[in-house]
Amino acid sequence: MKRTHFAAVLLLPFAAVSLSGCFSGLEATTNVQSTMNSGNGVQVRQGDIRIENTTLVVDETGAAALLVRVFNEGPVTDALTYATVNGQQVEIVTPEGNGAELQPGASVSFGWDSDNSIAMPELDVPISSYVPVELGFAEAGLASMSVLTVPKTGYYADVVVAP
């Protein structure tokens, strides 16, 4: 084998990786996209709590419901005890009436196929805007995020915005 052929064979794997569009470094959009406001379904981690698919559904009257699923990945029971939307404290409604208890390894859904809700009678913000939301946990602390508002139509038509 000639030296040029040998060099080409050695360089081929490195060239393929460096020239491919699948990986453009650790700062590539595909790698950092999940940490940015890129649409509905915001994901956040606060201590042992994982918060997923956070979206604000707003109806034609301005009433809104926070859709969210909260996972407790820690070894101790935690509880969602506090919530604000756009700087305004909102009520966390559960069938037990004592806040949302989160057992270790379990998850709790709010506002979607659930008896749990985080709703506000009036949210004066435009549709498709980002709203500051805070969720406070007894053990994990305060999680802050920016959540997209969506209209109560299409996919979200069946969401109940009032508890």
Distance set, CA 118 to CA 33, 81, 129, 145 (Å):
27, 11, 19, 15
67-106 confidence digits (pLDDT tens): 999 999 999 999 999 999 999 999 998 887 656 899 999 9
30-62 confidence digits (pLDDT tens): 555 555 555 668 899 999 999 999 999 999 999
- Its pTM stands at 0.75
Question: Could you give the CA distance from residue 70 to residue 34 in angstroms, rounded to a whole number?
Answer: 17
In this structure, are residues 13 and 22 in contact, taking their beta carbons and an 8 Å threshold?
no
User: Which domains are present in the chain?
Assistant: 1-36 (no CATH), 39-156 (2.60.40.1890)
User: 146-149: long-range contacts (C-beta < 8 A, 24 or more apart)?
Assistant: 146/37, 146/42, 147/42, 147/54, 147/55, 147/56, 147/66, 147/85, 148/37, 148/39, 148/40, 148/42, 148/55, 148/56, 149/56, 149/57, 149/58, 149/64, 149/123, 149/125
